[in-house]
Amino acid sequence: MITLYGTQKSRALRVSWLLEELGVKWQFHAIDFAKGENKAEAFLALNPSGKMPVITEGEFVLSESAAIMRYLAEKYGQGNWLPKPGTQASGIHERWVSFVISELEQPLWSMGKHRFALPQPLRLEAMFAVAKWEFDQAAAIAEAWVPDTGFVCGDSPTIADILLAQTLGWAMGFEQTLPPKLMAFRDRLKQRPALANALAKTEALANITQ
């Protein structure tokens, strides 16, 4: 049984969404960020950074959402959710994964850090304008790349689709404006039953801090 540690709508959502898509049995261990449970000794033993998500599977422990998703897709995806290695689609997929994590998501995390995650004396109001500018630049590139229909690597969904859609949802939660093709992409992906299932499964235990 896989245990997912996190909060309902943090980066853990991309993992819970994929678990539902894969049909894997899993359980949710809610971490109360506001109460500092991510800094508790038991959680730091799983991930010394105190960041979420983390999964455990027996004695196996894995952190970092993209690594977790790749592991789950490779182990349980039955050849789906990742393009065939060595193909052009695989290259495009890896570009999307890297871009979402390093360019599109980072300004949003800057907003999050200066809104709630950093100690109060380190939070800077000026960071919000900087982060918005950075996000808008990245969103413009993603807008040029994203297809008008379907998924980012063709006719089948991949982990890059979940990463992108969840990050765009995070952006909307931070009141960022999405260009039209990205908004349409998010609207398509949010209709997937696995997303609703993941949210419903974690709702009772969720402490929504992000």
Q: What is the pLDDT of residues 57-71, one digit of tens each?
A: 999 999 999 999 999
Instruction: For residue 160, give every residue at least 6 positions away whose Cβ sits within 8 Å of its Cβ, in sequence order, or none.
Output: 93, 96, 97, 100, 152, 153
For position 210, what pLDDT does the model report? Answer: 36
Tell me whether domains 2-79+194-203 and 88-192 share a fold.
no
Report how far residue 51's alpha carbon sits from residue 10's, in angstroms, rounded to the nearest whole number: 10
Considering the four listed CATH numbers 3.40.30.10, 3.10.290.10, 3.40.1180.10, 3.40.50.620, the one that applies to the domain covering 2-79+194-203 is 3.40.30.10
For position 202, what pLDDT does the model report? Answer: 87
CATH of segment(s) 88-192: 1.20.1050.10
Mean per-residue pLDDT for 6-30? 94
| pLDDT averaged over every residue in the chain | 94
For position 207, what pLDDT does the model report? Answer: 42
For position 209, what pLDDT does the model report? Answer: 37
Please check the confidence at residue 178 and state whether its pLDDT lies above 80: yes
Q: What is the pLDDT of residues 90-149, one digit of tens each?
A: 999 999 999 999 999 999 999 999 998 889 999 999 999 999 999 999 999 999 999 999
Q: What is the pLDDT of residues 155-173, one digit of tens each?
A: 999 999 999 999 999 999 9
Helix axes 65-76 and 12-22, enclosed angle (nearest 10): 10
Residue 63's DSSP bridge partners are: 54
Mean per-residue pLDDT for 21-49? 92
Please check the confidence at residue 204 and state whether its pLDDT lies above 70: no
For position 197, what pLDDT does the model report? Answer: 95
Please check the confidence at residue 46 and state whether its pLDDT lies above 60: yes
H or E element that contains 29: strand 26-30
**Burial of 186 per CB tally in 10 Å (0-12, 13-18, 19+):** buried
One-letter amino acid for residue 207 of the chain: N
Domain boundaries, the chain: 2-79+194-203, 88-192
For position 208, what pLDDT does the model report? Answer: 40
Please check the confidence at residue 54 and state whether its pLDDT lies above 50: yes
pTM of the model: 0.93
For position 205, what pLDDT does the model report? Answer: 63
Report how far residue 20's alpha carbon sits from residue 15's, in angstroms, rounded to the nearest whole number: 9
3-state secondary structure 85-105: CCCHHHHHHHHHHHHHHHHHH
